Structure 1
Amino acid sequence: MNGHEHYQRAEELAEKVSSGRAYADAIETAMLAQVHATLALAAATADATNFRRDLYAGNGDELPATTARKKNFAAKSADAANDFI
């Protein structure tokens, strides 16, 4: 299943719980809906990471290393703080 399919399944299960049609299994159904929602979120996060990687590759750039990104962010934050003061 991909992220969208997990999301759709979570919606179906949540609807089943809220409509009362699955009263006997409401807790199990709600838990299963939560699992599918979590998997949909994980898939969306992974898709965003892959999209970012592909975007850099498509532009002929190399994805910055995590430490370089953090250092750059810290420097920008420090500059913004100094500008504010």
Structure 2
Amino acid sequence: MPVEKITDEDVLELLVAVGLDKAAGAESLARSFEELDLDSLARMEIATRIQDRYDIDVEEDLTAEQTPEGLRRMVTERRLAV
């Protein structure tokens, strides 16, 4: 069974679902969650959605300093390691 990859579009969809402005573009992926004004509650919601969809636990590693781009890489690496 092929591993479902998380794409930039998937990450942007997650960000918008937890409060990022819909007008935000791909450049947002390189900014930290803190710079995007996504607080710990938003990060917890992202972690829960990733757990539900990809069966990967990222809650402890999803810090304010982390970027969505880094999150995408982390999920991809962990999915490939399974």
TM-score (norm 2): 0.28
| Greater RCO (CA < 8 Å, at least 6 residues apart) | 2
Q: Considering only CA atoms, is the larger Rg found in Structure 1 or Structure 2?
A: 1
TM-score (norm 1): 0.27
Structure with the higher helix share, 1 or 2: 1
